[in-house]
């Protein structure tokens, strides 16, 4: 069992709850708040589609060890990040 991955996964779940349910978008860095049309939707997308699955993957990987598990984590993060970024850029930004 990898305790570091478990702690990171639990922290990601907490941030997912704060962003997705409580709409604490101030926790998200690197975006222009004035350019976002719907901050509640942004919170649901980032909290529910990015942070929640990522936290669950970290928690599962903390209990299960198999070959190349670090690469699975990296590719999962990249795929989730790209998909959420593309969705936000296409649907939530004002032009």
Q: Residue 85 corresponds to which tokens in the numbers above?
A: 């970024």
Q: Has residue 30 got a pLDDT over 80?
A: no
CB 83 within 8 A of CB 45: no
pLDDT, greater one: 31 or 59: 59
Question: What integer pLDDT is reported at residue 69 of this predicted model?
Answer: 84
pLDDT, greater one: 31 or 74: 74
Question: What integer pLDDT is reported at residue 32 of this predicted model?
Answer: 73
- What is the mean predicted confidence (pLDDT) over 19-29? 88
Q: CA–CA distance from 44 to each of 1, 50, 67, 70, 93 (Å)?
A: 31, 9, 33, 27, 15
Question: What integer pLDDT is reported at residue 5 of this predicted model?
Answer: 92
Model confidence over 49-86: pLDDT tens digits?
999 999 999 999 999 988 888 898 999 999 999 999 99
Q: Residue 6 corresponds to which tokens in the numbers above?
A: 């478990």
Question: What integer pLDDT is reported at residue 70 of this predicted model?
Answer: 85
Question: What integer pLDDT is reported at residue 95 of this predicted model?
Answer: 62
How many other CB atoms sit within 10 Å of the CB of residue 18? 17
Looking at the chain, the number of H-run helices and the number of E-run strands are 4, 0
Mean pLDDT, the chain, rounded, equals 89
């Amino acid at each position: 069992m990898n305790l570091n991955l478990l702690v990171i996964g639990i922290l990601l779940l907490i941030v997912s709850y704060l962003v997705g349910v409580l709409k604490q978008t101030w926790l998200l860095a690197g975006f222009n708040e004035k350019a976002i049309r719907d901050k509640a939707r942004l919170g649901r997308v980032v909290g529910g589609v990015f942070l929640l699955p990522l936290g669950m993957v970290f928690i599962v990987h903390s209990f299960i060890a198999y070959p190349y598990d670090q690469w699975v984590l990296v590719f999962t993060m990249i795929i989730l990040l790209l998909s959420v970024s593309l969705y936000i850029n296409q649907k939530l930004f004002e032009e």
